[in-house]
Amino acid sequence: MPAPPRETSTRSEHSAGGVVLREGDDGTEVALAARRTRRGDLAWGLPKGLVEPGEGPEEAATREVREETGLEALIRSPLGDISYWYVWDGVRVRKRVTFFLMDAVGGDVSKHDDEMEEVRWFPLREGLRRASYTSERDVLRRAAESLGA
């Protein structure tokens, strides 16, 4: 008789991240970060990471943006949460990510984290097409709407 399926354990995580903007020569631009997926593809996404104990989501978003992209950015307004599931080491993880609209005020994308393959500025409309995850494209759409773009 086949072994019964093992009970899958689950846990939840809370991250925070930013839609970081700057004014370029041809309009508003957004910073996207590319990571190599386990399959070897390049996934373009918004900078984000875990809210550490003792931190608020605003602080975590500002820190993760600095660490992942090399940019100093200030929060303009909240953009709401997204959530998704992924599996890590046989554990199903439900991740909630709180996003903020942010303005770049310093730093440089050339100082990005080694974890990121590349960090680039895209015109907002192009960023919307290039972002790899549906939920992050929704966040970018909300950002564009809030700017009236």
Q: By CB under 6 A, name the binding residues for ligand ATP.
A: 15, 37, 43, 45, 48-50, 84, 86, 95, 133, 135-136
The CB-of-1 to ligand ATP minimum distance in angstroms stands at 34
Residue number with the smallest Cβ distance to ligand ATP: 133
Rounded to an integer, what is the distance from CA 30 to the centroid of its chain?
Answer: 12
Which residues make Cβ contacts (< 8 Å) with residue 42, sequence separation at least 6?
A: 34, 35, 36, 117, 118
The CB-of-116 to ligand ATP minimum distance in angstroms stands at 11
92 or 111: CB nearest ligand ATP: 92
Read off φ and ψ for residue 15, nearest 5 degrees: -120, 170
Distance CA(137)–CA(140), nearest Å, equals: 5
The CB-of-145 to ligand ATP minimum distance in angstroms stands at 19
